[in-house]
Amino acid sequence: MENLAVLDLQAFLEGSPTLRREFAHALGEAFSEIGFVIIENHLIESSLQQALYEKAQAFFALPPEIKERYIVPGTDGQRGYTPPARERAKGRTMPDLKEFFHIGPEIEDPSDPLYHRLPRNVWPGEVPSFREVMLRAYERFLATGSVLLRAIAMYLGLEEDYFEPHIRNAPSLLRLLYYYPLPKEAEIPEGATRAAEHEDINLITLLIGASAEGLEVLTREGKWLAPRVAPHQMVVNIGDMLQRLTNNYLRSTTHRVVLPPPELRHMPRFSAPFFLHPRPEVSLACLPSCITPECPKAYPDTTAEEYLNERLVELGLRKA
């Protein structure tokens, strides 16, 4: 495998029934084979993508004492700013060489129980238009993810809108990631990297426009693949929650962000993944259609909230 499959989202959005079925099949096959795919003609405009990264870079350029004003206690890093050396991959003791900022949904319906349960977003006033740009990006990420879940539902033989009630007002996260520069003479602790090998927690992850190379995906053959992704394209991958739900039919694949060569480590890397989650009460019990004599049920029943809590402990963001 030289690169990930590249699919055009407009074939599903505007194509004939045949083109829509072909898109859903190709998407599902890619997700069952390697768990990653590259999407063209997604719903995030290039001007919005540029504004998103401009605002992210402006925030991370602020002095540490200002950024730390946007740490939100009691949220396990699920809102606002998380400083360096706070998050580590599952099974690792060395923290990743990164810092990040989280934005969640802005729920407007007080009758939804999540209106009162989910933490509120915080908005750095030092960066003009930060809130407006991020909320627009959040909405377009969610819209793109919703379309992709429709195609996944079609591939799985479910009703096309199967996931819609499960993701309404769900605690999906837009993460602004800053892999900070490292001085050429800096000593890197043994085992430290930008993002150690891991699998994502959620249903699907959508990523646009990382500012530098570094993403690597582990293939079935045990080799690391460095995808070639153009600035206008989006990388989408399956998370553990969807892997559980489909009883391993769709793959949550190990991936990482590696350090560049020493001569390039003084260059920062920015990225903006969107982690699409289900609502906390949603069951992750394996779909009956994905359980067969050849593929017996692989996971105990759990809810999205229970599984997320378990994984946040493993990441070092929540105390057991």
Please provide residue 271's backbone torsions phi and psi, each rounded to the nearest 5 degrees: -150, 165
DSSP letter assigned to residue 271: E
Q: Tell me, what CATH number does 201's domain have?
A: 2.60.120.330
Residue 198, Cβ density class (10 Å: 0-12 exposed, 13-18 middle, ≥19 buried):
buried
Average pLDDT along the chain, 320 residues, taken 10 residues at a time: 89 96 97 95 96 97 96 90 80 80 95 94 97 98 98 97 97 94 71 80 91 82 90 95 96 87 80 96 96 94 93 73
Q: Is the dihedral of CA 145, 147, 148, 150 positive or negative?
A: positive
Q: Answer yes or no: is 160 within a domain.
A: yes
pLDDT at 2: 76
Task: Give the total number of structural domains in the chain.
Answer: 1
The pair of structure tokens assigned to 130 is: 């930060």
DSSP letter assigned to residue 283: B
pLDDT at 291: 95
How many Cβ atoms from other residues are within 10 Å of residue 132's Cβ?
A: 12
pLDDT at 259: 77
Q: Answer yes or no: is 85 within a domain.
A: yes
Q: Answer yes or no: is 236 within a domain.
A: yes
Name residues whose C-beta falls within 8 Å of residue 282's C-beta, 6 or more positions apart in sequence: 166, 170, 303, 304
pLDDT at 318: 63
Q: Answer yes or no: is 255 within a domain.
A: yes
CA 300 to chain centre: 24
Nearest residue to 250 (alpha-carbon basis) of 239, 261, 259:
239
Rounded to the nearest 10 degrees, what angle do helices 17-33 and 130-155 cross at? 90
The residues that bridge with 225 in the sheet, in sequence order, are 217
Q: How far apart are CA 275 and CA 203, in angstroms?
A: 8
Q: What's the pTM? A: 0.92
Name residues whose C-beta falls within 8 Å of residue 175's C-beta, 6 or more positions apart in sequence: 100, 101, 102, 103, 272, 273, 274, 275
* Full domain range(s) for residue 43: 6-314
CA 30 to chain centre: 17
CA 72 to chain centre: 20
Q: Say if residues 308 and 201 touch (Cβ distance below 8 Å).
A: yes
DSSP letter assigned to residue 19: H
Q: Answer yes or no: is 56 within a domain.
A: yes
pLDDT at 157: 96
Q: Answer yes or no: is 320 within a domain.
A: no
Q: Answer yes or no: is 1 within a domain.
A: no
Q: Answer yes or no: is 142 within a domain.
A: yes
CA 77 to chain centre: 15
